[in-house]
Amino acid sequence: MDGNYPVYHVKYPSGTIFLKAGRSGAIYTYLGYSTKLIKVPTTNLRLIQNIEIKKRVYNHLGNHPNIIPCLCINDYGIQLEHAEHGAIREYFAEGSAIDNKPFMVWTESGFKHPNDDENEHTMIRAELYALGSTIYEIITSSQPYGKIEEWIIY
């Protein structure tokens, strides 16, 4: 390396164009097919192993309504249906508002962030708190605030 960054190469199918770099390699979209993309590893051994693991996972799981459909697994990588909203980070960065109005999420009292300002202004933090509260209830089989009356929590 001699102080330089390593150079990795990508083997990708013809008829595709680079879309973005992902955590497990590069993502290419097919010309003329906006609903289909392919994840391919670079020549980095770790990324090749990562894609191989993902191939085994898709083969094991098959199609599932909560997973982006796998269209094909081939020597290049994994062909996937393009997610309706693109990458989840981009979706949240754009916000899920309608007509550029601030988006709103109403959370049950026992799952609300304890700081009211977080519930009103920083929706992502409030949603993460609600998710954590949901996970807590799944693991413990009880609500985060137990049997405290809802009006006391609110």
pLDDT in tens, 9-48: 888 899 999 988 877 788 899 998 888 999 998 888 888 8
The size of the chain, in residues, is 154
Tell me: the pLDDT tens digits for 61-111? 888 877 888 999 998 999 998 877 666 556 555 655 556 665 555 555 555
Structure tokens of 17?
A: 């164009």
Tell me: the pLDDT tens digits for 48-71? 888 898 899 899 988 887 788 899
Structure tokens of 102?
A: 């601030």
Give dist(CA 80, CA 103) in Å, integer.
Answer: 29
Contact criterion met (CB below 8 Å) for 153 and 144:
no
Give dist(CA 147, CA 107) in Å, integer.
Answer: 18
How do beta strands 33-40 and 70-73 pair?
unpaired
Non-local CB neighbours of 119 within 8 Å, separated by 6+ positions: 107, 112, 113, 126
Element spanning 46, H or E: helix 45-61
**CATH code of the region 16-81:** 3.30.200
pTM: 0.54
Give dist(CA 79, CA 54) in Å, integer.
Answer: 11
Give dist(CA 83, CA 69) in Å, integer.
Answer: 9
Non-local CB neighbours of 36 within 8 Å, separated by 6+ positions: 29, 30, 71, 79, 80, 81, 82
In the chain, where the domains are located = 16-81, 96-153
